[in-house]
């Protein structure tokens, strides 16, 4: 372990995952009280996330759902209003939501910084996020948007330091002269008459927001702004992805025709100096399809057809099959024995996850070959549908096109929804490798099979590390994994990543108001990311005793692609441990002696 790459170890097991919300006495409205929240008049959907946009829904896991109006979300320079359809499917806000608002005459001096998160507990903290059920404060830090130098366009962001609980109400409070109150909020705070404030919202503040703050010792008269929100239920967030996984398991259990095609290059001479790989294998097999259409021939044709199928209840359904490609590599040590002469043996499968918008070919890198040869792993890799190289044109076209029907930011959901198909393919792929491909003669040396069907490990870097965190939680066949260059959630990672710059430029040139650009990138997208990124699965990986995993997170300071703040966020959720010889302390993460090479504790 080097000091340039501190390792975070996660020993994962514990209690169950549940959903509660303190809605017993809250009379949620049937329709929103207005398209915009008047407490922040800068842009319509701020502050975000806000209960202003929640409506009653007894069928949901929280008793509410989003009810964004047709004219609430941002509008583009092409005069296209972002359609709220995909957001209104949710039964609350993301458990990884950053609180976003715009403040006139702001003064952020003395607010909680990322270097002093523990200050969130100070009695006079200028920002407070309260769990309305327990009264506990939620750790966070405050930052000013630095993606623009226009002070009139800079939003204030309260970043949670770890995920919120499922199906829970939270109250946000800003005070201490941090900025100027809007006329609407001043009327609420001071209990004065104003046509700006709908009666239903005034009642909500008097019954459900101000009492929570006052009980926590926060003086109402000193508030600059306050609001509340309800986080989504676990089922409302992860339910579709889990249904897809369960249906895939049922499909696979039926013994379908996988249509396996497999071939290999000529075996290499392992006696040659520097040779690590004995045999390179490639192929494809059938996978169930849950998209409206399979991958179109024209990569630019990817509007609604790149979305999940939806039945009358909004749930996905199987829609035939698609094909998934794979590569596998047998290292020399597995073909000849780790000592070079004891003969072939059945080795663990090492599933590899490629980087940002890359492909399975990254599994052919020299460093990975050397590692697999040293430790005796059979490498297995697939393209990550939704986040592979072939997805780049469709993603760009969706964001940049002026076509209001199919390809505009309203259809941002094509990225996470196509990734849900990809997650299923990765889970199924390892199963097929262990139970089907392992029996193929090409995955044997002589008469000895070289795949141990009982051992599956994961290694991914960058995007492979990020998505791999979710995959570890989903896959019943992965025992442990190494997540390199990892972090989450995406709403924290993307604005800080140089890799996101080209896409961020598209957003900036697409949306009229920069504050709405930040609302979209930091706020709206996180609502849709959760089913296929670490943020939505952190509590599962940390708390679900039925899925015990061992995970090593490897991150490095000064990473301008995946900020280490994302790894810190994950580590706090996982209750991970950091090595005592790490370069820096991480707030909320215990430092322990991790021992020598590797870690089995």
221 in helix, strand or coil?
helix
The pLDDT of residue 6 is 43
Based on the fold, state whether residues 137 and 278 are members of the same structural domain. Answer: no
Give me the DSSP letters along 356-372. TTB-GGGGG-HHHHHHH
Based on the fold, state whether residues 215 and 278 are members of the same structural domain. Answer: no
Using the predicted structure, report yes or no on whether residue 23 has a pLDDT greater than 90.
Answer: no
The pLDDT of residue 13 is 34
Asked if residue 99 belongs to a domain, the reply is yes
318 backbone dihedrals φ, ψ, rounded to 5°? -70, 140
User: Which pair of structure tokens corresponds to residue 151?
Assistant: 């002070």
Q: What is the pLDDT of residues 442-452, one digit of tens each?
A: 999 999 999 99
Based on the fold, state whether residues 436 and 347 are members of the same structural domain. Answer: yes
User: How far from the centroid of its chain's Cα atoms is residue 353's Cα?
Assistant: 16
The pLDDT of residue 10 is 44
The residue among 401, 419, 450 that closes a domain is 450
Q: Give the pLDDT band (50/70/90) at residue 305.
A: low
Asked if residue 584 belongs to a domain, the reply is no
Alpha helix locations (H) across 436-543? 463-474, 490-493, 501-510, 514-518, 525-529, 534-543
Q: Which of 373, 425, 435 is nearest to 532 (CA)?
A: 425
The mean pLDDT value for 348-362 works out to 95
Q: What is the pLDDT of residues 139-185, one digit of tens each?
A: 999 999 999 999 999 999 999 999 999 999 999 999 999 999 999 99
Q: For the chain, what is the mean pLDDT?
A: 91
Q: State the burial class of residue 70 (Cβ atoms within 10 Å of its Cβ: 0-12, 13-18, 19+).
A: exposed
Based on the fold, state whether residues 277 and 402 are members of the same structural domain. Answer: yes
Query: What is d(CA 384, CA 419) in angstroms, rounded to the nearest whole number?
Result: 8
The pLDDT of residue 389 is 86
Using the predicted structure, report yes or no on whether residue 272 has a pLDDT greater than 50.
Answer: yes
Based on the fold, state whether residues 267 and 385 are members of the same structural domain. Answer: yes
- Starting at the earlier edge strand, list the strands of the sheet with 451-461: 261-264, 277-288, 321-331, 378-382, 347-353, 451-461, 480-484, 549-554, 7-12, 577-579, 590-592
Based on the fold, state whether residues 150 and 264 are members of the same structural domain. Answer: no
Residue span of the structural domain in which 73 resides: 20-232
The mean pLDDT value for 537-547 works out to 86
The pLDDT of residue 1 is 33
Q: Give the pLDDT band (50/70/90) at residue 507.
A: confident
Query: What is d(CA 290, CA 285) in angstroms, rounded to the nearest whole number?
Result: 16
Based on the fold, state whether residues 53 and 118 are members of the same structural domain. Answer: yes
The pLDDT of residue 296 is 54
Query: What is d(CA 437, CA 308) in angstroms, rounded to the nearest whole number?
Result: 28
The mean pLDDT value for 324-343 works out to 97
Based on the fold, state whether residues 217 and 261 are members of the same structural domain. Answer: no
- Starting at the earlier edge strand, list the strands of the sheet with 156-160: 99-101, 156-160, 140-144
Based on the fold, state whether residues 344 and 272 are members of the same structural domain. Answer: yes
Based on the fold, state whether residues 279 and 217 are members of the same structural domain. Answer: no
Q: What is the pLDDT of residues 27-68, one digit of tens each?
A: 999 999 999 999 999 999 999 999 999 999 999 999 999 999
User: Which pair of structure tokens corresponds to residue 308?
Assistant: 């999940």
Using the predicted structure, report yes or no on whether residue 407 has a pLDDT greater than 60.
Answer: no
- Threshold 0.95, pTM exceeds: no
The pLDDT of residue 297 is 52
459 in helix, strand or coil?
strand
The mean pLDDT value for 267-296 works out to 94
Based on the fold, state whether residues 74 and 186 are members of the same structural domain. Answer: yes
């Amino acid at each position: 372990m080097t000091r340039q790459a501190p390792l975070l170890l996660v020993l994962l097991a514990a209690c169950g995952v549940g959903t509660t919300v303190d809605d017993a006495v809250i009379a949620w409205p049937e329709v929103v009280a207005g398209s915009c929240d008047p407490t922040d008049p800068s842009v319509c959907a701020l502050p975000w996330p806000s209960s202003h946009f929640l409506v009653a829904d007894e069928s949901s896991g929280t008793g509410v759902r989003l009810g964004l109006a047709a004219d609430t979300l941002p509008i583009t320079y092409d005069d296209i209003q972002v359609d709220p359809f995909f957001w209104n499917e949710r039964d609350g806000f993301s458990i990884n939501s950053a609180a976003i608002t715009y403040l006139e005459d702001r003064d952020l001096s003395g607010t909680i910084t990322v270097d002093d998160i523990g200050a969130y507990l100070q009695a006079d903290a200028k920002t407070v996020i309260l769990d309305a059920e327990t009264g506990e404060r939620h750790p966070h830090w405050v930052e000013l948007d630095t993606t623009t130098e226009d002070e009139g366009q800079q939003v204030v962001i309260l970043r949670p330091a770890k995920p919120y609980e499922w199906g829970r109400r939270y109250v946000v409070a800003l005070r201490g002269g941090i900025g100027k109150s809007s006329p609407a909020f001043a009327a609420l705070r001071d209990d004065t008459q104003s046509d700006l404030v709908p009666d239903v919202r005034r009642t909500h503040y008097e019954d459900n927001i101000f009492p929570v703050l006052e009980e926590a010792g926060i003086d109402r008269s000193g508030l600059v702004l306050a609001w509340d929100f309800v986080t989504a239920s676990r089922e409302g967030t992860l339910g579709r992805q889990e249904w897809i996984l369960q249906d895939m398991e049922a499909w696979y259990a039926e013994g379908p025709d996988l249509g396996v095609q497999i071939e290999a290059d000529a075996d290499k001479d392992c006696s040659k100096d520097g040779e690590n790989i004995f045999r390179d294998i490639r192929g494809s097999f059938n996978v169930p399809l849950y998209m409206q259409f399979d991958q179109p021939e024209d990569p630019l044709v990817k509007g609604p057809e790149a979305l999940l199928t939806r039945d009358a209840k909004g749930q996905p359904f199987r829609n035939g099959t698609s094909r998934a490609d794979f590569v596998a590599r047998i290292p020399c040590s597995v073909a000849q024995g780790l000592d070079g002469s004891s003969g072939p043996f059945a080795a663990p499968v090492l599933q590899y996850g490629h980087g940002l918008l890359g492909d399975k070919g990254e599994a052919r890198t020299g460093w990975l070959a050397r590692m697999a040869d040293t430790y005796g792993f059979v490498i297995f890799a697939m393209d990550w549908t939704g986040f592979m190289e072939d997805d780049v044109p469709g993603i760009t076209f969706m964001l940049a096109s002026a076509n209001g029907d199919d390809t505009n930011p309203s259809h941002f959901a094509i990225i996470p929804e196509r990734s849900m198909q990809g997650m299923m393919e990765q889970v199924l792929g390892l199963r097929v490798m262990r139970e089907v491909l392992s029996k193929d003669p090409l995955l044997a040396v002589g008469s000895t099979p070289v795949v141990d069907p009982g051992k599956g490990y994961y290694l991914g870097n960058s995007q492979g590390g990020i998505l791999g965190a979710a995959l570890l939680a989903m896959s019943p066949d992965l025992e442990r994994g190494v997540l390199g260059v990892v972090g989450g959630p995406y709403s924290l990672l993307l604005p800080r990543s140089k890799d996101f710059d080209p896409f961020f430029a598209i957003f900036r040139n697409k949306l009229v108001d920069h504050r709405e650009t930040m609302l979209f990138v930091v706020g709206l997208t996180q609502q849709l990311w959760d089913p296929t990124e670490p943020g939505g699965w952190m509590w599962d990986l940390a708390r679900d005793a039925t899925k015990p995993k061992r995970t090593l997170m490897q991150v490095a300071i000064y990473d301008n692609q995946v900020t280490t703040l994302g790894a810190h966020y994950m580590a706090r959720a996982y209750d991970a441990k950091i090595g005592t010889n790490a370069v820096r302390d991480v707030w909320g993460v215990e430092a322990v002696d991790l021992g020598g090479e590797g870690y089995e504790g």
